[in-house]
Amino acid sequence: MKNQQGIIKLIILIIIAVLLLSYWGINLRQVAESNTGRANFGYLADLVGQAWSYLGYLWTSFVTPNLPQNWSEAIKLPKLGN
Domain boundaries, the chain: 1-31, 34-67
Give the model's pLDDT for residue 25: 93
Question: Per-10-residue mean pLDDT for the chain, 82 residues long?
Answer: 76 92 90 90 94 91 77 64 58
- Determine the pLDDT at residue 76: 66
For residue 24, the model assigns a pLDDT of: 93
Is 43 within 8 Å of 52 (Cβ atoms)? no
Q: How far apart are CA 11 and CA 32, in angstroms?
A: 21
Q: Is the pTM of this model over 0.85?
A: no
3-state secondary structure (DSSP) of residue 79: coil
